[in-house]
């Protein structure tokens, strides 16, 4: 009986050790804030550009992945804006990160999107993060959720993990936030069109009317019979 009890105790101790290892070994991902931006952080990068370089109008969006209003804009307004204005060549979209201090996962989410962008998957990752915001936002650590998203969109997980561990885009994210502050952004989402800021974003109908006023669509060529 004593030998049996010792065996059970040993198994329990080993199990506890494994559990302790797993808990202690799992480290939350953190991205430094208020870092000193280096020239290399922004070289060749001025935002996530979506659309044609020849589009007559450029729109800049300053957004925070943990902001509920930003998620609403992404899921409600963005699909029409992209399909009817961006894909049609009428405007070019420039997405910039503006992680708010009150959102603890905002910089990690922004970095996750940057690591996905490194693999050519920014658009898919951005949408995935926003669509699942209500799931990951309340968690103490959302890094595992972002990793699962990266895997789901077909990213190379090993490369993604290395990118996240390096925090290599912390300076880029800070530079984006600094830019937003410099142009007067105080809330997210905020959209800038033709040098004018629209706090709270802009809906598709209003944006289309604005684009029409700035760059009227070409009338269809007349045809003869």
pLDDT in tens, 17-46: 433 333 334 566 889 898 999 999 999 999
Lowest mean pLDDT among 5-14, 172-181, 184-193: 5-14
Whether pLDDT at 223 is above 60 = no
Instruction: Provide the residue count of the chain.
Output: 225
pLDDT in tens, 75-106: 999 999 999 999 999 999 999 999 999 999 99
The predicted structure's pLDDT at residue 18: 37
Listed range (80-84, 154-158, 221-225) with the worst mean pLDDT: 221-225
Q: Where are the alpha helices (DSSP H) in 26-100?
A: 39-42, 68-72, 78-81
26, part of any domain = no
Domain extent, residue 96, equals: 49-211
Give 209-220 pLDDT, tens digit per residue. 999 999 987 644
* 19 in any annotated domain: no
Structure tokens at 213: 């006023």
176 contact partners, CB below 8 Å, separation of at least 6: 47, 62, 96, 97, 98, 110
Confirm if 180 and 96 have CB atoms less than 8 A apart: yes
pLDDT at 12 (0 to 100): 45
What pLDDT is attached to residue 129?
98
pLDDT of 20 reads: 36
Percentage of the chain lying above the pLDDT 90 cut:
80
Q: Is residue 177 part of a domain?
A: yes
Which CATH number characterizes residue 193's domain?
3.40.30.10
18 domain residue, yes or no: no
Per the prediction, the chain carries an average pLDDT of 88
DSSP 157-199: HHHHHHHHHHTTTHHHHHHHHHHHHHTT--SSSEEEETTEEEE
pLDDT for 34: 85
Asked if pLDDT for residue 133 goes beyond 80, the answer is: yes
The pLDDT of residue 6 is: 43
Place of tokens 């969109």: 153
pLDDT at 123: 96
Within a domain: residue 145?
yes
pLDDT of residue 7: 43
- Predicted confidence at residue 3, as pLDDT, reads 55
Is there a domain that residue 17 lies in? no
What does each C-alpha distance from 134 to 23, 67, 184, 200 come to in angstroms? 25, 10, 28, 19
The model's confidence at residue 172, banded by pLDDT at 50, 70 and 90, is very high
Longest dimension (CA), the chain: 103
Would 103 be classed as within a structural domain? yes
Please return the burial class of 110, using the count of CB atoms within 10 Å of its CB with bins 0-12, 13-18 and 19+.
buried
Domain assignment present for residue 128? The answer is yes
19 Cβ neighbours under 8 A, 6+ residues apart: none
**Number of domain units in the chain:** 1
Q: Does the pLDDT of residue 149 top 60, yes or no? A: yes
């Amino acid at each position: 009986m004593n030998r049996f009890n010792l065996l059970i105790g040993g198994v329990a101790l080993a199990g506890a050790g494994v559990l302790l290892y797993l808990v202690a070994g799992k480290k939350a991902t953190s991205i430094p804030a208020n870092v000193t931006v280096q020239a290399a952080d922004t070289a060749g990068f001025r935002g996530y550009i979506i659309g044609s370089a020849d589009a007559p109008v450029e729109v800049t969006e300053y957004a925070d992945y943990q902001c509920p209003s930003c998620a609403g804009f992404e899921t409600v307004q963005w699909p029409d804006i992209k399909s009817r204005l961006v894909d049609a060549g009428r405007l070019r979209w420039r997405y910039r990160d503006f992680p708010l201090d009150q959102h603890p996962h905002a910089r990690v989410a922004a970095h996750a999107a940057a690591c996905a962008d490194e693999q050519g998957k920014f658009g898919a990752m951005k949408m995935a993060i926003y669509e699942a915001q209500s799931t990951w936002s309340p968690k103490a650590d959302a890094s595992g959720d972002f990793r699962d998203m990266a895997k789901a969109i077909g990213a190379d997980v090993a490369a993604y993990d290395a990118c996240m561990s390096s925090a290599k885009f912390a300076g880029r994210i800070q530079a984006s936030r600094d830019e937003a502050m410099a142009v007067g952004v105080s809330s997210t989402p905020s959209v800038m069109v033709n040098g004018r800021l629209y706090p709270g974003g802009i809906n598709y109908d209003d944006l289309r009317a604005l684009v029409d006023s700035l760059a009227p669509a070409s009338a269809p060529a007349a045809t003869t019979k």
